[in-house]
Homo-oligomer: A and B are copies of this chain.
Amino acid sequence: MDRPLVVQKFGGSSVADADRIRRVARRIARERAAGCDLVVVVSAMGDTTDELLALAEAITDEPDARELDMLLATGEHQSATLVSMALHSLGAPAISLTGAQAGITTDGRYGRARIANVEPARIREELHRGNIVIVAGFQGQSAVAAGQAEITTLGRGGSDTTAVALAAALRADRCQIFTDVRGIYTADPRVVTTARQLPVIGYEEMLELAHQGAQVMQVRAVELAWVNDVVIEVLSSFEDAPGTVIREDPLVEQRNKVRGLAHDRNVAKVTVVAVPDRPGVARTLFDPLAAAGINVDMIVQNVGHGGATDLSFTVPRVELARAKKVLDPIVRELGARELTTDASVAKVSIVGAGLHNAPGYAARMFGTLADAGVNIEMISTSEVRITCMIAEAELSTALDALHGAFELAKPDPVDAAATGRAAG
């Protein structure tokens, strides 16, 4: 087997209708003609998953989790067979496989299964027969006794994870994620006009960008790629243009600078005002939120005065109403003065693998925002990221100012070398 093996993944918008499916098939056939073995992972067509969810909700408020997974998995079965048919009509030998047929087994948790194992014997066999293998993304079967295996889905964006897991199991030479954008940018190009596409980005930086709302790829898929050392290329399915390579970045030390900006509008701030400052208060507040499945982020506790303190944190904006319902009785019980919320906030982050070694970046970020007249309400940091919460109305101003201050529009001289290696 001297032919290079490439795993490609096409998202729902890339296979949204018959025309797009034929276009994707032409692209796959071209790659094949160039001499590659190909495993192609597809998502469900366009809004199919949402339509199936709506159908289930028209029947019952609480669809059974097992049945819902069986239902949703049909979306990817359909797109996989259609892409295979389109390849046949181009004279390219192809076969579609369900997640189960592709050898993907999961931990059996409906709706949010994790891949437990990939046993790609059938895929290898089909490749050996000369077939392009089309795999239904987003799913696998639970690893139980024969005849009892159930279909489980991997949750939203699970097709990215399918592609990375297959690339790892097959030791693929490349793993290409085709999306409706060209790649990863220094900032969201819909907001910052000078945003520049990055030729290469490290796993850790990509994770922070993904976490902070630059949702080109699912966080889980990036994590899986990092652990398994799978080099990912993110690129557009609608044009022939170089994408962004996500990989271990050996040039981090030479770079030591901000690589990009992330922002997130799906955020709301919650403040518990004048809560008694005694041990266990945070747990009393956050345990019930965790039990309700609400993610809490950016927790800030002010220094207490007179036995009371203010505690602020953020939750996803879509969860704010539920969070308030959970917290209201607890806040009364704790004897806090009140619970205030603010849904018109946003997070803006600078991301770069070198940030934690260079404290000057935080100061430059805060200074830039101050100069632009943007007030910082909360701050949080990680190894590769500094995040400020600001008023949503000032988000665009903040992004433009930071993009300029960190010279993100200017190509990084180190990138040329990195790209050369990534393409090899």
Contact = CB atoms under 8 A, between A and B. Distances in A.
Contacts of A103: 147
A88 B88 CA distance: 41
A314 interface: no
Q: Which of A62, A66, A80, A85 has the most C-beta atoms of chain B within 10 angstroms of its own C-beta?
A: A85
A63 interface: yes
B95 A81 contact: no
A77 B82 contact: no
A56 B147 CA distance: 30
Contact of A64 (B22, B64, B85): B85
Given A95-B66, A96-B67, A148-B122, A60 B74 contact: no
15 contacts: A18-B55, A21-B59, A55-B82, A56-B81, A59-B82, A60-B86, A60-B88, A61-B89, A64-B88, A66-B95, A67-B95, A67-B96, A70-B81, A74-B77, A121-B147
B66 A86 contact: no
A53 to B, nearest CB: 12
Contacts of A67: 81-82, 84-85, 88, 95-96
Contact of A85 (B68, B86, B121): B68
A309 interface: no
A101 interface: yes
A59 B74 contact: no
A39 to B, nearest CB: 17
Interface of A: 18, 21-22, 52, 55-56, 58-64, 66-68, 70-71, 73-74, 77-78, 80-82, 84-86, 88-89, 95-96, 98, 101, 103, 121-122, 146-148
Given A59-B85, A59-B86, A74-B77, 19 more contacts: A18-B59, A59-B82, A59-B89, A60-B88, A64-B85, A64-B88, A67-B81, A67-B84, A67-B88, A67-B96, A68-B85, A70-B96, A70-B98, A71-B85, A73-B77, A74-B74, A74-B78, A77-B77, A146-B146
Contacts of A89: 59-62
Contacts of A77: 70-71, 73-74, 77
Number of copies: 2
A200 to B, nearest CB: 36
Which secondary structure characterizes the binding site on chain A?
helix
Contacts of A73: 77
Contacts of A121: 147
Nearest to A101: B147
A77 B67 CA distance: 10
A10 to B, nearest CB: 15
Nearest to A93: B64
A18 B74 CA distance: 18
Nearest to A19: B58
A358 to B, nearest CB: 53
A86 B70 CA distance: 14
Contacts of A56: 81-82, 85
B60 A85 contact: yes
Given A71-B77, A74-B74, A74-B77, A59 B22 contact: yes
Contacts of A21: 59
Contact of A81 (B61, B71, B85, B101): B71
